[in-house]
């Protein structure tokens, strides 16, 4: 699984000699005493950025600004491919010739930190403005109280809706609470229209309901992991999911990719889907007649004063222990995670910036404004290097299908909790 969502650009995340596109910006000046570039003459830094993370124009602007502030530093920004990235990063972290800064999917940080090859940046959190970070983006980079990954950018799910179907049902405003959401969706689920298309295995959406109830998918108690699906909070969440899912014809035994939910929505008889805003691009491509007729709102929460919890997908920045210039590498991380780049990035790429205080830069766009509002209540999957194995075995997806097809929730949840605990407590 790619561990970050692709936003509007269809983005929702390595040893020397790797063939990758790159660009270098050399400089010969050393800068005045006391400047950001002083004492860094002749420093060469390699930065790995994932393909499609950013536009060429955005990276060019960053290089220009960084060169002005750090005239003695040469930046070699190399574009990496997602296919096989996990093994390349693992190899780089174990080598003596690692890049200086690497973009990684936020849920991958725990796995890489466990290797011992990622630099601990806990003492830099205050300098980086960590109190302003999005919680759901910052949490995956923090392992056992130590900050290894620095949150870079985020994307999360919202509700995409058909404005014509809302008008047909005489609904004039999106819901603000989960109860209102059920009520409105029931009104929309009439006359041959689906109130919502929600596949039975959309487990990221389900996870948001679990977090809303105050639960979690798994918890670490005294160094031992326990599954969290048999708790009263998670059982309340799966009941809400069951009620919402029933207000449409979504399949109970597949996820949003089978069939692609954008194609289903594009037929014009579905009122709502839960998707990253970038899903609108695929919808309008499949049905150009819907262009301009799509609306967006944050997933409703239990009360009107707070949006529903969402999984925060995104990327972090890490510095390998093997970096030959860790102090200079940190300055690059600081610039990329700083307000200037974050604001520019949000406007150019329609991502949610890493800071709560910067959410307002997206206010001019309905889709990204809804995403930013939801991001304030963002969460992450359990912070274990073994969590990827839970996802690979589709444990939560299969649990949801069993419940939606008549299984007893408590019994099914207890069984999957045992499987989750076994995986998370396995040591290599």
User: pLDDT, tens digit, for every residue of 108-133?
Assistant: 899 899 999 999 999 999 999 999 99
Q: Do 169 and 134 share a structural domain? A: no
Residues 6 or more apart whose CB falls under 8 angstroms from that of 75 comprise 24, 25, 45, 47, 63, 66, 67, 332
Q: Is residue 268 part of a domain?
A: yes
Q: Is residue 10 part of a domain?
A: no
CA-nearest of 161, 162, 138, 158 to 150 is 138
Residue length of the chain = 428
What is the C-alpha separation between 251 and 197, in angstroms, rounded?
A: 9
What residues in the chain have per-residue pLDDT under 70? Answer: 1-41, 428
pLDDT at residue number 159: 98
Is the distance from CB of 421 to CB of 227 less than 8 angstroms? Answer: yes
Q: Do 176 and 307 share a structural domain? A: yes
Q: Do 62 and 29 share a structural domain? A: yes
What the block records as the tokens of 224 is 């031992």
Is the distance from CB of 169 to CB of 190 less than 8 angstroms? Answer: yes
Is the distance from CB of 264 to CB of 197 less than 8 angstroms? Answer: yes
Is the distance from CB of 420 to CB of 225 less than 8 angstroms? Answer: yes
pLDDT at residue number 37: 41
What is the C-alpha separation between 44 and 25, in angstroms, rounded?
A: 10
The 10 Å CB-count burial string (b at 16+, else e) for 310-335 is bbbbbbbbbbbebbebeebbbbbbbb
Q: Is residue 4 part of a domain?
A: no
Q: Exposed (0-12), middle (13-18) or buried (19+): which is 32, by Cβ within 10 Å?
A: exposed
- Domain region containing 306: 158-311
Q: Classify 310 as helix, strand or coil.
A: strand
Residues 6 or more apart whose CB falls under 8 angstroms from that of 62 comprise 335, 336, 341, 344
Q: Do 164 and 304 share a structural domain? A: yes
- Residue at token pair 């160094």: 223
Q: Do 170 and 289 share a structural domain? A: yes
Q: Is residue 256 part of a domain?
A: yes
Q: Is 222 left (phi over 0), alpha (psi -120 to 50) or beta?
A: left
pLDDT at residue number 348: 84
Q: Do 249 and 235 share a structural domain? A: yes
Residue 198 exposure: Cα atoms within 13 Å on the Cβ side:
27
Q: Cβ atoms within 10 A of the Cβ of 271, count?
A: 29
Please state at what angle helix 339-349 crosses helix 56-69, rounded to 10 degrees. 170
Q: Is residue 334 part of a domain?
A: yes
Is the distance from CB of 151 to CB of 179 less than 8 angstroms? Answer: no
Could you write out the three-class secondary structure of 219-252?
EEECCEEEECCCCHHHHHHHHHHHHHHCCCCCCC
Q: Do 136 and 66 share a structural domain? A: yes
What is the C-alpha separation between 391 and 318, in angstroms, rounded?
A: 23
pLDDT at residue number 106: 87
What the block records as the tokens of 334 is 């600081």
Q: Do 266 and 225 share a structural domain? A: yes
Q: Do 357 and 305 share a structural domain? A: no
pLDDT at residue number 428: 65
Q: Is residue 87 part of a domain?
A: yes
Domain end among 261, 280, 311: 311
Q: Is residue 13 part of a domain?
A: no
Domain end among 356, 374, 392: 374
- In sequence order, the β-bridge partners of residue 353 are 153
Global pTM reads: 0.76
Q: Do 206 and 108 share a structural domain? A: no
Q: Do 130 and 256 share a structural domain? A: no
Q: Is residue 234 part of a domain?
A: yes
CA-nearest of 160, 253, 246 to 203 is 253
Instruction: Please report, for the domain that includes residue 167, its CATH number.
Output: 3.40.190.10
Is the distance from CB of 78 to CB of 48 less than 8 angstroms? Answer: yes
Strands 43-50 and 73-80, bridge-based pairing: parallel
Residues 6 or more apart whose CB falls under 8 angstroms from that of 19 comprise none
Q: Do 284 and 163 share a structural domain? A: yes
Is the distance from CB of 308 to CB of 377 less than 8 angstroms? Answer: yes
What is the C-alpha separation between 299 and 281, in angstroms, rounded?
A: 19
Residues 6 or more apart whose CB falls under 8 angstroms from that of 385 comprise 110, 111, 113, 114
What the block records as the tokens of 305 is 């004063």
Structural domains counted in the chain: 2
Residues 6 or more apart whose CB falls under 8 angstroms from that of 428 comprise none
What is the C-alpha separation between 11 and 279, in angstroms, rounded?
A: 11
Domain end among 256, 278, 311: 311
């Amino acid at each position: 699984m790619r561990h970050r969502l692709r936003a509007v650009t269809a983005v929702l995340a390595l040893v020397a000699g790797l063939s990758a596109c790159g660009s270098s910006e050399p400089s010969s000046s050393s800068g005045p005493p006391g400047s950001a570039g002083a004492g860094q003459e002749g420093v060469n830094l390699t930065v790995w950025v994932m393909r499609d993370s950013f536009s060429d124009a955005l990276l060019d602007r960053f290089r220009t600004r960084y060169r002005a502030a750090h005239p003695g530093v040469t930046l070699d920004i190399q574009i990496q491919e997602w296919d096989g990235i996990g093994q390349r990063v693992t190899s780089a972290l174990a080598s003596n010739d690692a890049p200086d800064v690497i973009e990684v999917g936020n849920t991958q940080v725990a796995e890489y930190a466990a290797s011992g090859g990622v630099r601990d940046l806990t003492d830099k959190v205050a300098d980086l403005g960590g109190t302003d970070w999005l919680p759901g983006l910052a949490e995956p980079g923090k392992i056992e109280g130590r900050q290894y990954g620095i949150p870079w950018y985020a994307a999360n799910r919202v509700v995409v809706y058909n404005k014509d179907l809302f008008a047909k049902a005489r609904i004039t405003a999106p819901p603000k609470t989960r109860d209102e959401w059920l009520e409105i969706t029931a009104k929309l689920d009439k006359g041959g229209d689906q109130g919502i298309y929600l596949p039975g295995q959309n487990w990221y959406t389900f996870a948001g309901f679990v977090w809303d109830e105050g639960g979690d998918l798994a918890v670490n108690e005294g160094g031992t992991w326990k599954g969290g699906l048999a708790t009263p909070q998670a059982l309340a969440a799966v009941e809400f999911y069951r009620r919402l899912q029933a207000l449409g014809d979504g399949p109970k035994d597949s996820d949003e990719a089978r069939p692609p939910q954008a194609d289903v929505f594009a037929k014009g008889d579905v009122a709502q889907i839960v998707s990253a805003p970038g899903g609108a691009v695929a919808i309008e491509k499949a049905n150009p007649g819907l262009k301009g007729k799509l609306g967006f709102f944050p997933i409703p929460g239990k009360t009107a004063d707070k949006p529903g919890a969402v999984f925060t997908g995104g990327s972090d920045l890490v510095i390998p222990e093997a970096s030959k210039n860790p102090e200079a590498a940190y300055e690059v991380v600081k610039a990329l995670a700083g307000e200037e780049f974050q604001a520019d990035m949000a406007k150019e790429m329609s991502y949610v910036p890493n800071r709560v205080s910067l959410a307002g830069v997206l206010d001019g766009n309905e889709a990204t404004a809804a995403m930013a509002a939801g991001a304030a209540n963002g969460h992450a999957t359990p912070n274990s290097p073994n969590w990827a194995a839970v996802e690979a075995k589709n444990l939560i997806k299969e649990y949801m299908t069993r419940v939606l097809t008549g299984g007893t929730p408590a019994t099914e949840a207890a069984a999957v909790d045992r499987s989750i605990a076994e995986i998370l407590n396995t040591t290599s």
